[in-house]
Structure 1
Amino acid sequence: MGLLDSALSMLSSTNQNDGGKAALMQAVVGMLGDKQPGGVGGLQSLISAFHQAGLADIVQSWVSSGQNMPVSATQIQQVLGGGQLQQLADAAGISHEGAASHLADFLPGIIDHLTPHGQVPEAGNINPSAVLQQFSSLFGK
């Protein structure tokens, strides 16, 4: 069993009353770590989507040092659109609206954690198991 499998297993065994947060976290971390041709991946694509949606100031606050600006579930729906958000919701076994709400809660912290010193890592340099372990406390572990 690999490191990622261990982390995913740890999150899967968390409190079943978490409203799908653990499964959504797994899906999001997987999305952010996806590497596309040319080294561009999920995190860069997500940051670009925020810029394209006119929410650059919000996502830049997460990348840079300093206070993270909040994001609403409506803004998450605007950025991710129906398809990508629905895929994440389906992976977590929760509603589209529930996924947007949970993402609004924890996405700023994840991106902040992944971008120390304001540097966005290439997709292949994101360690999903470390991210999942860091945020496992959100789920009672």
Structure 2
Amino acid sequence: MSFLNDLLGAAQGNQAGGSTLISVAGQLIEKAGGVQGLVAMLQQHGLGDAVQSWVGTGANQAISGDQLGQALQNGGLGPAVQEAAGKLGVDPGQLMGQLSQVLPQAVDHLTPDGQLPAQGQGGFDLGSLASLAGKLFGGGGNA
């Protein structure tokens, strides 16, 4: 967990303020076209069962960082992953390992009723993930 704490600590000192894992997850969701876009992309690239579990109300199925990285790369988000890893000063593979833990929680959090938001509601509020950071990392709520 020290790597995760290091990432969070580095991100909190970053003046851009958008470099926490939650923010990176949010940015990826945004670049994918919202929750619907991300879910569709991951389904198209072999993670359909896992993604459906994240949206649904049951337990979230785990995926590996390699699986997530491959799906995001194939879905056209490779450059966004590279950029985020560069900002955090970590290897993209390390970032994918951490995001494979956070992204299922983020999608789950953004689909509380087990349903994707209506198609017209693609733009989500990145702030809606702020409370998730406190739950995941036990932070003081300043995430």
- Assess same fold via TM > 0.5: yes
Superposed CA deviations along residues 65-93 of structure 1, whole A, max 9, x for unmatched, are 11110010110111111323212322333
Tell me how far apart the structure 2 counterparts of residues 49 and 98 of structure 1 sit (CA, whole Å).
21
TM-score when normalising by structure 1? 0.72
- Structure 1 outlier segments of 4+, above 3 Å: none
Q: In angstroms, what is the RMSD of aligned CA positions?
A: 2.5
Tell me how far apart the structure 2 counterparts of residues 45 and 58 of structure 1 sit (CA, whole Å).
15
Q: Which one-letter code corresponds to 2:110 in the other structure?
A: L
Matched, 1:18 2:5: yes
Matched, 1:74 2:73: no
Q: Which one-letter code corresponds to 2:108 in the other structure?
A: D
Contact 2:25 2:106 in 1 (8 A): no
1:84 — aligned with what? Answer: 80
1:62 — aligned with what? Answer: 54
Tell me how far apart the structure 2 counterparts of residues 102 and 69 of structure 1 sit (CA, whole Å).
15
Superposed CA deviations along residues 86-120 of structure 1, whole A, max 9, x for unmatched, are 12322333220111011111111110010121222
1:140 — aligned with what? Answer: 139
* Residues 134 and 24 of structure 1, relative CA distance in 2, 3 Å threshold: closer
Q: Which one-letter code corresponds to 1:105 in the other structure?
A: Q
**Percent identity among equivalent residues?**
32
Tell me how far apart the structure 1 counterparts of residues 65 and 101 of structure 2 sit (CA, whole Å).
9
* Residues 41 and 72 of structure 1, relative CA distance in 2, 3 Å threshold: same
1:93-104 to 2 correspondence within 5 Å? 93-104=89-100
Measure how far apart 1:64 and its partner are.
0.8
1:44 — aligned with what? Answer: 36
Q: Which one-letter code corresponds to 1:18 in the other structure?
A: N
| Higher RCO (Cα < 8 Å, 6 or more apart) | 1
Tell me how far apart the structure 2 counterparts of residues 87 and 44 of structure 1 sit (CA, whole Å).
23
In structure 2, stretches of 5+ residues that fail to align are: 12-19
Tell me how far apart the structure 2 counterparts of residues 113 and 129 of structure 1 sit (CA, whole Å).
12
Superposed CA deviations along residues 45-80 of structure 1, whole A, max 9, x for unmatched, are 211121111210000000011111001011011111
